[in-house]
Structure 1
Amino acid sequence: MIDVLGRVREHVGEHFARAGSTAEPDQASVTFLGTENIDVLRFGPGLDGVVHYVSLGCSRHPMADPTEMVTDALHGPRAEICVALRGATPRGLVRSIAIVAAAPAVEGLVLEPDALIDLESPLWEGAPFTAFLLGTSDIDDVALTPPLPPVTVFSATPITATEAAWVRLKGADAMREAWRQDRVDVLDPARRAARPS
């Protein structure tokens, strides 16, 4: 049997080692009733002060849309998420990451690029952010032994309720363009919300 999580952990560790973060990551584990545990690995901070939080457990099983009549228990897509922020670890962030990583098993959610995952409550204590916007990350896909497909590690950017509404209205690319135009630093946990027109 393939140790999917072991492969993911090794691959992600090698990625951050190449980026200069050679220390073993801190690890926290979250378990929800009736589900297997989700770990969150904390890499950094790097020289730029950015800390990366990577879920480990979502890719344990392939994701499947519960509305489909037939699901592929072997070849379905697998994923993890990565949140990047500057500064100290906000209290409650790890749990929010674990909620998203557990959602495919709990709710039948399929994580994919540009997906909006709205938790409808602060992502950490005092945060103005209530949702994550998924996108491509700098971490390459994790190759598994065929016939299993690779594991994709998505970036997960914290966004405000106003920004989430904008994503629903205009789409993820429009939100990212608004961040660029407004010079919004999405790695800043105390950042202001973009004001797209």
Structure 2
Amino acid sequence: MLVTHEHGDHIRGVGPLARRHKVPVYLTPGTWLSGKLGEVPHRHWITPQARFAVKGIEIDPVTVPHDAREPVQFRLAAAGRRLGLLTDLGHPSEHVVEAFRGCDALVLECNHDVHLLETGPYPPSLKRRVGGQWGHLANAQSAWLLRRLGLDGLQRIVCSHLSEHNNRPELALEALVPLLDGDDSRLTVAAQDQGLDWQAIT
């Protein structure tokens, strides 16, 4: 298992699954030192910006701006194809743009619509956290990031980590479809409660 950071929605099942099935876990020391995972028998340290490989898949852990101890997101490469996983970041930094340019497929956070966040039920402190530089990407920020990454080589784009209270699938798609000249065939929305079907790239 690749662990990005220690927030509950990302690690809740890591410890039990790793212990029950002896699954190796790859994570940064900072994530481990949060003390939130419990015992993990087969633990492997990873270093941001230091490539490693698991069963022929090359993995680049990329530092991202997020309010965790040592958060990373991942770029994976195998058989000449590259997949980017970008699910938690407060803003699309230049470092992130450079690291994820050239992917064939991208799982991209579209966490919130700014208006829904501003008028929604969260307390002011949580609204500031989610919408801040170390929180989560708004739909418009995700669109800006896609423009910077370049769309020509992207075969699949999965909108992910949509907030239950502060976003809707149609709003995420509305922000991204114009970048694709109205063609949404490359776009998929991953529902939090249903996951995602297998996606293919050629």
- TM category (shorter chain) comes to under 0.3
| TM-score scaled by length of structure 2 | 0.27
Q: Which has the higher contact order (CA 8 A, sep 6+)?
A: 1
| TM-score scaled by length of structure 1 | 0.27
